[in-house]
Amino acid sequence: MGSEWGLSAASGLVAPLFVDYLVKPIERRIRYLFRFHKIVQELHQNQQDLAAKETQVKDDVEEAKLQIRTQVIYDQVDEWPTKAENALKDVKVLDSEIEENKRCFCLCPNWCWRYQLSQEIENKTLEIADLVKKSEFKRVGHRAKLPSLDLVTSKDNVDLKSSGAAFNKIMEALKDDIVKKIGVWGMGGVGKTTLVRNVSGKVRGFDRVIMVTVSETVDIEKIQNKIADDLDLKFGKNTEGGKATELWSRLSNGKFLVIIDDLWKEWNDDGDLRKIGIPLVKDEKGCKIILTTRNYNVCQHMECEETIQLKVLEDGEAWTLFEMNAGIKKADSRVIGEAKKIAKECKGLPLAIVTLAKALKGKALDRWKDARKKLERSGLMEIPSIQTEREKNAYISLKISYEHLKDKMSQTCFLLCALYPEDDLINVEDLMRYA
C-alpha cells in the first residue's frame, strides 16, 4: 500500500517534468517543420498590430506636444517608436527569406533551413507582441518645469523682514480653516508675484498648487486652460461652461491652492470663480485662493478673510537688497557712494532695486555715475500712463538696465519680448529666430 502511494506520488511529480522538458520541446520542433505557414501568419498579424500601434503612439506624442509646447516626453515613450521601426524592418528582411524558402522548398526541400527560419520568425513574433503590449502608455509625457523669468526671485528677497513677515502671515492664514481667500495687495513692482511664488514652493498640505496670471484683460478660457494644464486634465468639452463643469468636478475631489496673480478689477465674487470652475474649500475638499492685486478694493470686493499689504522697502532693507544683488561689499568707496545714491532713488521698490543692481554689477565708476544722473533727471520727465514717482523710477530703472545689456542682440531680444501679449509664454527658439 505504502509503495503504491509512493509510486503514485513519484509519477505525479515526474509527469509534469516529462511534459515540460521532453514533450513540449518535441512538439515545438515539429511545429517549426510542419506549421511553417501558420507561424508566418502569426508574424504578419503581429506586424500589422505593431504598425498600427506605431502610428498611434506617434500621434499621441504629437498631440501632447501641440497641447503643451513645453511637454517632456518620457524616455520609454521616446525610445519605443525606434524599437518598433527596427522590428518592422526586421520583418521585411524575414519576408525576403520566407519567399526564398517557399521557392526553394518546392524544388528541393531543405528541412534544416525551414526549421531555423521558423525559429527566427517565432522569436521575432514574440518580440513584436511584447512591443505591442508595452505600447499601452497611460501618459506619454509631463510638463517641463519652466525657468522663472521674474527679475525679482525668492533668492533676491532673502532675509528681508518685510517680505518675511508677509510670507509668515500667508502661511498662517493657509492653516486657518475659516480663511478661504487671502488678498495680497501693493503697488506694481513691490514683489507680490515673487512673494506668492515663494509661498507656492514652500506650502504643504495641498494636493497641488495652481498659479494663473489674470492681468488687466480677463480671459476666462485662457485661465481654464492654464488650470487644466497644471492638473494634467484633458477637456472633453470645448464650451466655457463645459470646461467649468469639468474643472469643478476635478477640483472638488481634492484640496488645492489656487493663486490668482495680478487681478486688476473686482470679480463678481464667487460667481466668477464658479464661471471658471473653481470651488471654494469645504470639508477639506476644494480650493483655497490667494490673489494679488494693486488695488485694496479688489480684496474687499472679493471678501478676502485675510488681507496683507506689501509695502515698499525701508532704506535699510533697500540698501541690503541692492548691495546683495550688485555684489559691491568690497568695492571701491566711490562706487559704494554712487550705489547708495542710486538705491535711494529707487524709492524702496524691489523691482527697480534688483534690476538696476544687476545691470550695474561689475561696471566701472563712470557707468555708475551715468546711471545715477539719469535717475536724478527722471524727476523732470513726463512719461505717459505713469502716474506715481515710484512707477516712474521703476520705468527708468528698466530703461537703464536695457541700455546696459551687453550687445545689440540682447537689446533686440528684449524689445521683441515687449511685443508679445502680456503674460504670454515666449518660445526661446522663436525669439532667437526672429532676433
Of 375, 382, 376, give the one whose Cα is nearest residue 359.
Answer: 375
pLDDT at 301 > cutoff 50: yes
Say whether both 289 and 393 belong to one domain: no
The pLDDT-based confidence of 175 (bands split at 50, 70, 90) is very high
pLDDT tens-digit series, residues 76-132: 888 999 999 999 999 898 888 877 766 665 545 556 766 787 788 888 889 999 999
Same structural domain, 166 and 303: yes
Evaluate whether residue 435 is within a structural domain. no
Phi-psi sector, 378: left (phi>0), alpha (psi -120 to 50), beta:
alpha
- Domain check: are 178 and 93 in the same one? no
What does residue 214 show for φ and ψ, rounded to 5 degrees?
Answer: -100, -55
Radius of gyration (C-alpha) of the chain in whole angstroms: 34
- Which candidate, 213, 225, 209, places its Cα nearest to that of 424? 213
Phi first, then psi: give them for residue 34, nearest 5 degrees: -110, -5
CATH number of the structural domain spanning residue 329: 1.10.8
Domain assignment present for residue 248? The answer is: yes
Does residue 383 sit in the same domain as residue 302? no
Instruction: List beta partners, residue 258.
Output: 210, 289
Residues 265-295: tens digit of each pLDDT: 777 656 678 889 988 877 778 899 999 998 8
DSSP H or E run through 372: helix 365-377
Among 309, 340, 368, the domain-final residue is: 309
Domain count of the chain? 3
pLDDT band at 147 (very low <50, low <70, confident <90, very high): very low
**Pair 304, 167 in one domain:** yes
Q: Do strands 141-143 and 286-293 pair parallel, antiparallel, or not at all (unpaired)?
A: unpaired
* Cell digits of residue 274: 464658479
Asked if 266 and 358 sit in the same domain, the reply is no
Q: What is the mean pLDDT of residues 299-315?
A: 90
Residue 180 lies in a domain: yes
Phi and psi at residue 59, in whole multiples of 5°?
A: -65, -40
Host domain of residue 323: 315-404
pLDDT tens-place string over residues 176-220: 989 999 999 998 888 898 899 999 989 998 988 999 988 777 788
Q: Which of 8, 188, 149, 36 is nearest to 102 (CA)?
A: 36
Is the same domain home to 328 and 304?
A: no
The reply to whether 198 and 266 lie within a common domain is yes
Pair 105, 165 in one domain? no
pLDDT tens for 3-52 read: 454 445 444 544 454 445 444 555 555 565 557 788 888 889 999 999 99
Say what the pLDDT of residue 145 is.
52
pLDDT at 371 over 80: yes
Q: In what order do the strands lie in the sheet containing 306-309?
A: 208-215, 255-263, 286-293, 181-185, 306-309
Q: What pLDDT was estimated at residue 388?
A: 58
- Comparison of pLDDT for 387 and 371, the residue scoring more: 371
Q: Which of 241, 276, 309 is the last residue of a domain?
A: 309
Mean confidence (pLDDT) of the chain:
78
| One domain, residues 173 and 287 | yes
Q: Say if residue 75 is in the same domain as residue 193.
A: no
Helix axes 315-326 and 350-360, enclosed angle (nearest 10) = 30
The answer, yes or no, to whether residue 304 has pLDDT greater than 80, is yes
In a domain, 1, yes or no: no
pLDDT one-digit tens code per residue, 39-55:
888 889 999 999 999 99
State the burial class of residue 321 (Cβ atoms within 10 Å of its Cβ: 0-12, 13-18, 19+).
buried
Q: How many CB atoms lie within 10 A of CB 310?
A: 20
DSSP letters, 292-333, are EES-HHHHHHTT-SEEEE-PPPPHHHHHHHHHHHHT-TTS-H
**Domain annotation covers residue 208:** yes
Given this model, what pLDDT does residue 389 score?
A: 58
In a domain, 422, yes or no: no
Give the cell for residue 100: 526564398
How far apart (Å, rounded) are the C-alpha atoms in residues 408 and 55? 45
Least confident of 120-134, 324-338, 417-431: 417-431
Q: What is the pLDDT of residue 169?
A: 94
- Contact indicator for 41, 31 with CB cutoff of 8 Å: no
Any domain includes 220: yes
CA 105 to CA 113: how far, in whole Å?
9
Q: For residue 151, is pLDDT > 90?
A: no
Over residues 164-178, mean pLDDT: 91
Instruction: Decide: 228 and 247 in contact? Cβ < 8 Å.
Output: yes
Residue that finishes a domain, picked among 309, 336, 351: 309
Residue 3 domain-assigned?
Answer: no
Residues 214 and 292 in one domain: yes
Total residues found in the chain within this entry: 435
Q: 128-164 burial by CB neighbour count: b if 16+ within 10 A, else e? A: beebbeebebeebbeeeeeeeeebbebebbeebebbe
- Rounded-to-integer distance, Cα 324 and Cα 415, Å: 28
Query: Is the pLDDT reported for residue 365 higher than 50?
Result: yes
CATH code of the domain containing 193: 3.40.50.300
φ and ψ of 127, to 5 deg: -65, -45
